[in-house]
Amino acid sequence: MADITIAGGDGDFSAYLATPASGNGAGVLVIQEIFGVNADMRAHCDAYAAQGYFALSPDIFWRQEPGIQLTDKTEAEWQRAFELYQGLDVPKGMEDLMASLSHLRSIDGCTGKAGTVGYCLGGLLAYLMACQSDAECNVSYYGVGIDAQLDQASNITSPTLLHIAEEDEYVNKDAQAAINSGLAGHSNVTLHSYPGVNHAFTRNDGIHYDTDAAKLAHGRSADAFAAALK
């Protein structure tokens, strides 16, 4: 497990890489929340490495503040996280993710197959990776803003899962209805809704972490990656 450097089109940026014990396996690109490549993202990477994947989480806030690592525990951190979120150039962030996906596939020992998984902001970006990249599988956890990007759904050609928190304070009922309506019947998209849970219900040590819902969602994600990548 180590921090590495990725060469992007606009400059180098850092990423956290977790390696499977076997030294061989497919890849999973782990896309950060608004808090940076923090302990939570690293824990998700480590969990995927334990399942036999190379797991890579790139720093997509590097243009604003390289190496940022925040938590959801203080108001000051929330304010800074929202500043970084609002300052993100999404097309540039997507370029970084494309470069990261290419880097992941090129790692010695990687099979060349790779999927993406993202949380919150990363959930939106994982959805956009499903629409814009050739990743073999994509998983979005409580992605914010997907309802405004449904016109891209026709481009999805690989298995894609969306985990939706029914009591999400950042994805309201109207947005959830739009997502369900817009993606219903899409042959490559599977929607899972989780009643009674709030945004970030899988954030390790997060204020809304829900053990049962997290276990169910992670199991579904694991099955999707196993089917598409192994």
Q: Select from 58, 162, 163, 54 the least CA-distant residue to 115.
A: 54
Annotated catalytic residue 108: no
Are 139 and 128 spatial neighbours (Cβ–Cβ below 8 Å)? no
Catalytic residue among 103, 168, 210, 218: 168
> If you count DSSP H runs as helices and E runs as strands, how many of each does the chain have, helices first?
6, 8
What whole-number distance in Å separates Cα of residue 125 and Cα of residue 133?
11
What whole-number distance in Å separates Cα of residue 181 and Cα of residue 150?
10
Q: Which two three-digit tokens encode residue 167?
A: 């009591």
Determine the length of the chain.
230
What letter represents residue 100's amino acid?
S
Q: Where are the alpha helices (DSSP H) in 21-120?
A: 39-50, 75-87, 90-106
Annotated catalytic residue 199: yes
What whole-number distance in Å separates Cα of residue 68 and Cα of residue 88?
13
Q: Which two three-digit tokens encode residue 216?
A: 């169910």
Catalytic residue among 103, 163, 199, 218: 199
What whole-number distance in Å separates Cα of residue 165 and Cα of residue 197?
6
- The residues that are catalytic are 168, 199
